[in-house]
């Protein structure tokens, strides 16, 4: 969830519906995560200026700091694992990941 908010760009906020779609989560699954991250002050629920019936979920300064620290570590861990693949294996992986991305895009459309 933190990375989804970070990817949204400043001010790092999305509606719960947009977050659920981005993360492929149900409303209930999303709500439990929102509650936990709000409890540790990584996100905040803010009123939606255009519609008082809904809220926006926004990354806090603490949440932004955590995700900025973690992203490079995650990328490095992934690259360490991928370096073990030969060129043929890497090509097959790229092909299959592209197919997966296309399938996810088809679901979202």
CATH code, 26: 1.10.10.10
Distance CA 55, CA 13 (A): 10
* Residue 30 contacts residue 16 (beta carbons within 8 Å): yes
Mean pLDDT of the chain: 92
Give the separation between CA 89 and CA 91, rounded to whole angstroms: 5
pLDDT above 90 (res 50)? no
Residue 44: DSSP 8-state = E
**Is pLDDT of 29 > 90?**
no
Q: Which domain holds residue 70?
A: 2-108
At residue 109, the pLDDT reads: 67
Q: Are 13 and 46 in contact (CB under 8 A)?
A: yes
**Domain tally, the chain:** 1
- The stretch 78-88 carries a mean pLDDT of 92
**Where is pLDDT greater, at 104 or 35?**
35
pTM, entire model: 0.73
Average pLDDT over every residue of 96-104: 93
Q: Is 25 or 14 the better-scoring residue by pLDDT?
A: 14
The alpha helices in 1-109, defined as continuous H runs, are: 2-7, 16-23, 27-39, 61-82, 87-108
The whole-number average pLDDT for the span 36-59 is 92
Residue 22's pLDDT band (boundaries 50, 70, 90)? Answer: confident
């Amino acid at each position: 969830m933190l990375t989804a908010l970070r990817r949204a760009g400043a001010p790092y906020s999305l509606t719960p519906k947009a977050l659920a779609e981005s993360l492929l989560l149900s409303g209930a699954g999303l709500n439990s995560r929102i509650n936990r991250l709000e409890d540790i002050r990584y996100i905040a629920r803010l009123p939606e200026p255009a519609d008082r019936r809904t809220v926006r979920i926004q990354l806090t300064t603490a949440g932004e700091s955590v995700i900025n620290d973690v992203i490079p570590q995650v990328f490095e861990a992934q690259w360490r694992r991928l370096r073990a693949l030969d060129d043929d294996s890497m090509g097959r992986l790229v092909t299959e990941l592209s197919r997966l991305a296309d399938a996810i895009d088809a679901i979202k459309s």
